[in-house]
A and B are shown apart, each in its own frame.
Chain A
């Protein structure tokens, strides 16, 4: 049901754009090389900045000698941390609702100490990037190396030397939770299983690296920041605050953005330096991260070790979950979203799919001299899901129960909503059992089990793994706002009818390739009653869009699109009022179909929007004197009743393990997910598939390798293995639809569902494959080395 030709069918009601797989309008531009990314921009008098970064994980800066570099060709200015500190104030990445979270002041350029390999130390501005790199080679920085904390357990030990002596220790944050009665539940269990789960540190490799251009207009006293950010209003606020400007003096424009995954929802020290440098030099300053510096300056994520415990009775009842989680972040908690959120999510989410009231958890967030970690696609979810689903499979095996059956018995019943998990998170309406049923129908389980058995007779080890999951979407202020961060949880849209009868909608959400613009156009066209092609979408400019949060945490469709829908409805009402005045009818007797005002009863055409706009804009003299048309409407939206709209789903993986080589071949992957009302099923499916692929990357390939000195030793695309098409299985996607009642559209988020459960079901499938050999592996990535070690010891 491709939409374009369907649009002209008279029988096609305008509201049909919601839930329809129409192709997105920006595709032609982006696929024909007509996109405009920050790295494409060339401004007059522009300087290029290169950052000399710390080669050490931890060192004192003894001296910096820039004299040789300063005179090199093209060099305009060289700025050290000491000078920068006078132009950009430091920040501390804490949130008040994460009780006890602490961090130390962080500067745009390191002042007297460097805390991780990759921390920016000196900014070199030159006429070209190549010249700045040439000059960077001639800057002499003398360091006195300090011992680095590179192991989370050692850093967390009570006698460990603190990275920031003033903080007392390296524990940035600790949270404990005890719900129900775990001890009593343990006593009443027939089996208790314990297991350590290990999650490597990895990062989100965006196709377009981070890029920022800042330009200071002396006459206007205004800074324009071109940055491919997911959250331009957040950037506006932070840059204003640390450059001592007002928000009105800052404009942030995102342009096209080549992928984000959370990497671009933060502000980085180098970005902050670029803004300050533009003001200091009075010239536009451009920074484009190269791949190598991306690996040590973009945020990392995960890096958790979780000890999990589960109790089960012989009838399959799960009695409790217990986790003790620890994670190694960087030397600072990242500003402003903090580096404690992932661990906090692990505590919130673990076991949340199951009706198990007894739950005990602890997490510790530990400073390390490594690249800072922060929110990356599916924050905390893969850890919680892998631990939960890994433990459930262990429990099933202990009592000899089928993995499907144990889930049926324990997943929260579909008629059991609304309800809360023991961690306090609240569910409006989930569909675990419907999703499970749909999954089983899709994958033909008996046939797979037969294939698996036949393969085993040939000495081939195939396995099947399941992972049900919950996903946090549509976050309200509970995420950041209540903790004191000025990150908007509401979003807005302004919808306007232009003089030719076309619609322009400006929304505060942003697009990084996932189709935000497409869904805004779909809901706006639907709300007003116009053709999709007559809607133009404006995103990513703080001067021209309403104030809002942007695109992150799977909130664009559920919050941003709802605001656009409400604005479209408001404009529709205004249009009908005007039409009724022109036509001497009543608004309730009129309707808008595909850009034409019609009689509601007879559907006969009365007035095109072009004609209506002509009258409103050029011949208002023909309208009654007491009537003023308003052909622009703005609405904002944030869900009120639930802090988050939880979604759910289940994934399955079928794979083959080569027990001689340790290689894993993914044969097939299935996902059933419930994001409420999908606005564009094509985009939802691709979000789910893309999310699965990133989850599979974590499961099999991605890992930031550090040596004992805190050096990242695979900071390049040859050695850091991202998932590639050749190794990906077919991914079948289906949906259950449980709309949220908090909005008119009923959409929840879908961007992180794939990532949440992919690694968990792959690990379960590997363990299913290796079950005849008595081997269980709960470490990702599942590299050949890890698999062989488990199989052969050593």
Chain B
């Protein structure tokens, strides 16, 4: 299918982009186009204009300042994957990004686009939740920040206003004892997962002092499994605690049925991932492996 006709605007500055967004209420921002263009071609979306922010230098770059990692919105998945800074300061993102789509798509798709798109099966929103990311947004009224846990409000829905632009993502660099784990179950490499888990935590004296389990592809948004995580806090993720956490997962997740898996299968797979991911995060297990 072919996209319906639309106008194309390419602002030269962030300020101009914001102005265009205000003057064209039915416009959509175009970043990497890897989600937006398929939607246009399927005629699922019929914006009056596309505002191409793809060349705004103000939205590019990865930096670390005062223990905070800042990833600007236009950072391509491929840049994220290749960045030594990311590998060191955000090992979870480094692990997750390999699972996002295929090289051709990773060379265009952006982190801002992925977060703004809020696909419940996407890896990066779940990572943002697990890492307690802060999402920096610019709008007509200036800048504001939104915590990841408040950002993803529903299926493909976010707290972002229609006149706002996602400018950057900020996360803390890893503290002492920080541990991460990431696994997903996808039928083919590069596919959206049937179930995935991005986890971040802190180990102190051999026990989990902090743990956030962010599941994706299990509901309308990525979901923090707080009940399951609570069962593991203060433990060394021993088999009994893991079993309790697996049982508690039923209070956190109520996954949908779809072509790939029934709700019950998804919950089962989420439990398998729980055990595998959390075990991989424990220092003694990693040594054994």
Interface residues of A (CB under 8 A from B): 128-130, 133-134, 137, 290, 292, 660-663, 701, 705, 713-714, 718-719, 721, 724, 726-727, 783-785, 788, 792, 794
18 CB < 8 A contacts A-B: A130-B3, A130-B5, A133-B1, A134-B4, A137-B43, A701-B187, A701-B188, A714-B259, A721-B191, A724-B190, A726-B189, A726-B190, A727-B188, A727-B189, A783-B260, A784-B194, A784-B261, A784-B265
B-chain residues with CB within 8 Å of residue A129 when the two chains form the complex:
2
Assess A726 versus B188: contact at CB under 8 Å? Given A130-B5, A660-B272. yes
Q: Which residues between 252 and 275 of chain B lie within 8 Å of chain A, taking CB atoms?
A: 259-262, 264-265, 268-269, 272
Count how many chain B residues have C-beta atoms less than 8 Å from C-beta atoms of the other chain.
24
A-chain residues with CB within 8 Å of residue B264 when the two chains form the complex:
794
CA A663 to CA B273, docked complex, whole Å: 13
Q: Contact: A721 with B188, CB < 8 Å? A: yes
B-chain residues with CB within 8 Å of residue A292 when the two chains form the complex:
1, 42
Distance (Å) between the CB of A235 and the closest chain B CB?
26
Q: Contact: B185 with A785, CB < 8 Å? A: no
**15 other A-B residue contacts (CB within 8 Å) besides A719-B259, A785-B261, A788-B268:** A130-B4, A133-B1, A133-B2, A292-B42, A701-B187, A705-B259, A718-B192, A724-B190, A727-B188, A783-B187, A784-B261, A784-B269, A785-B260, A785-B262, A792-B268
Q: Contact: B188 with A724, CB < 8 Å? A: yes
Q: Give the most central of A134, A661, A705: most B CB within 10 Å.
A: A661
B-chain residues with CB within 8 Å of residue A663 when the two chains form the complex:
185
Q: Contact: A713 with B1, CB < 8 Å? A: no
What's the A-B contact tally at a CB cutoff of 8 Å? 57
Q: Contact: B188 with A661, CB < 8 Å? A: no
A-chain residues with CB within 8 Å of residue B42 when the two chains form the complex:
292
Assess A661 versus B272: contact at CB under 8 Å? Given A784-B265, A785-B261. yes
Q: Contact: B265 with A785, CB < 8 Å? A: yes
Distance (Å) between the CB of A703 and the closest chain B CB?
9
B-chain residues with CB within 8 Å of residue A794 when the two chains form the complex:
264
CA A137 to CA B1, docked complex, whole Å: 12
Distance (Å) between the CB of A659 and the closest chain B CB?
10
CA A788 to CA B43, docked complex, whole Å: 37
CA A726 to CA B103, docked complex, whole Å: 13
CA A713 to CA B258, docked complex, whole Å: 10
Closest 10 CB pairs of A and B: A726-B189, A130-B2, A660-B272, A724-B188, A290-B1, A705-B259, A785-B261, A129-B2, A727-B188, A133-B2
In the complex, per-residue mask of B1-25: 1 if CB is within 8 Å of any chain A CB, else 0: 1111100000000000000000000
Q: Contact: B269 with A661, CB < 8 Å? A: yes
Assess A724 versus B194: contact at CB under 8 Å? Given A290-B1, A713-B259. no
B-chain residues with CB within 8 Å of residue A137 when the two chains form the complex:
43
Distance (Å) between the CB of B50 and the closest chain A CB?
16
Smallest CB gap from A705: residue in B? B259
A-chain residues with CB within 8 Å of residue B259 when the two chains form the complex:
705, 713-714, 719
B-chain residues with CB within 8 Å of residue A128 when the two chains form the complex:
2
B-chain residues with CB within 8 Å of residue A784 when the two chains form the complex:
185, 187, 194, 260-261, 265, 269
Distance (Å) between the CB of A18 and the closest chain B CB?
39
Distance (Å) between the CB of A566 and the closest chain B CB?
46
CA A660 to CA B192, docked complex, whole Å: 20
A-chain residues with CB within 8 Å of residue B260 when the two chains form the complex:
783-785
